[in-house]
Structure 1
Amino acid sequence: MESLGRPLRVGFIGAGKMACAILEGMVLSDQIQATNVLVSAPSDKNLLKFKGCGCMVTHSNEAVVEDCKVVFLATKPHVLPGVLKDISDAVTKEHIIISVAAGITLETLEKFLPPETKVLRAMPNLPCVVQVGAVVFARGSCAGNQEAAVLKTLMSGCGLCEETPESYIDIHTGLSGSGVAYVYMFAEALAEGAVKMGMPSDLANKIAAHTLLLFLQGAAKMILETGEHPAKLRNDVCTPGGTTIYACHELEKGALRATVMNAVEAGTKRAQDMGKS
């Protein structure tokens, strides 16, 4: 990706798992070269993986802003206000600042940055690292179509990328950002059920992972391509008197749907609370 005929320089302030997932999605899809990325973090330990990928690294957040036109803010939410104060003097109208910190609102970001700063708020999830993530984003008051297009282009290699009202971002956090953990818990439970019935643990874990990889990927594709409600597609799988309807009955008795709905609600409310604090 180029800017005014020159390779675009992209910076990351924060070197955690989410920054790594976003970067790897970008690099794998050839949206940017690792050599055109500068990453800052206080710890050398967190920077080692980025350095190993060919990125430039630094301990200076201000250096990232001075070197890069597009800057991703990928710190923990409670750290971000201090980071914004540190970089504020270096931010210009030419910068595009993209925050992926959970719960931190556009209003808060703009409050700590100079007037007319082009700010966007995005929420990716961890599968961005293998280019099957889901990202939603919203624009700040000074970010226009061009800035939105830059973000979408950079994130296109990470998977689905949709612009939404900001109010949806915290919901996305509870649904998809945290939802990855729900799926891992489901995979763990599948394997443990097989172990309970006598299958060795290693084999059960392997089959559970392939079940998610092959069948859930296909199921997700069916939802997207047919437009059918998941309940209808589930019913299509349940042969009268067969194994699946018996198993689904047990899931209903365990309140699977209500529990998952409660988890999405809890994740959303926590993201909203983080923004308020």
Structure 2
Amino acid sequence: MTDNITAETIDVEQPKELAQSVMTNVERVIVGHHDTVEHLVTSLLAQGNVLLEDVPGVGKTMLARSIARSIDGIFKRIQFTPDLLPSDVTGVNVFNQKTREFDFRNGPIFANVVLADEINRAPPKTQSALLEAMEEKQVTVDGKTRRMPDPFTVIATQNSVERNRTYDLPIAEIDRFMKKLHLGYPGEDEESQVLARVVGDHPIDSLTPVAAIEDLRSARQTVSRVRVEDAIREYITNLSRYTREKAQLGVSPRGSITLLRAAQARAVLNQRSYVIPDDIQQEARAVLAHRIRVPPSSHETPEELIETALETVEV
């Protein structure tokens, strides 16, 4: 299939170099999770939001902070707690005694990279404050809509252990995350490297930006222009339709669009200006599995269903 495709006249070198620089910088702090770092960076290039789920203490927050520090933009962290209010996220109108008018005070959501730390500790009402921002890159407060900075990305972490002390994320919110990623425990040698790196100053304290915000904006524009042939679009559609036929809740059209965008970013990392089936298959597991719900009686997990789809659906 790839032999008959000629590249468009777009330069994929700049976004590829940006991605490599960010990954190298992040891996000065994060040890042994190259694939996860790569997935997060492709999401950044593809204008997607990322959900990091795992047990406490494996580096979810540190990974998000490392990504944010690698980009020379505005970074804000929101610590989600049970008493956090929607206005604590989006901002609030405050009456100005001097002007006798209401002034809007931006919430921490107004940043280029937003870390929503332990997002599932806040109740659904507060979690929903992110929905408009994540999907439409804007927030509406008291009837007035304000645009988010460009670029804008949410990296959220959630605890997968203390279920009795957390709130499940609404499906509508989960569907707005391009990928759901897991870190897992490091191997023996990797954990030893982690311990060696934190002797003295922590490596994140000396982490400096390696990409300007304008470079990231340009890279995203290039990724969005990566060519997707009709056959590739049909392949994505068939994968999504397979999940809808086999699961209680299958992949939404938003999920199909997200997979296409992630595959465009993956193509750039592979120095191509066009998408091939391999790009779809590399991204499908991280992009699609968290959007699927299987019946309680099912013997197949969402991850296994995606594997079956990739083996079954004709390329």
On whether the aligned pair clears a TM of 0.5, the verdict is no
Of Structure 1 and Structure 2, which has the larger fraction of its residues in helix?
Answer: 1
Q: RCO (CA 8 Å, sep 6+): is it higher in 1 or 2? A: 2
- Give the TM-score, by structure 2 length: 0.25
- Give the TM-score, by structure 1 length: 0.28
Larger radius of gyration: 1
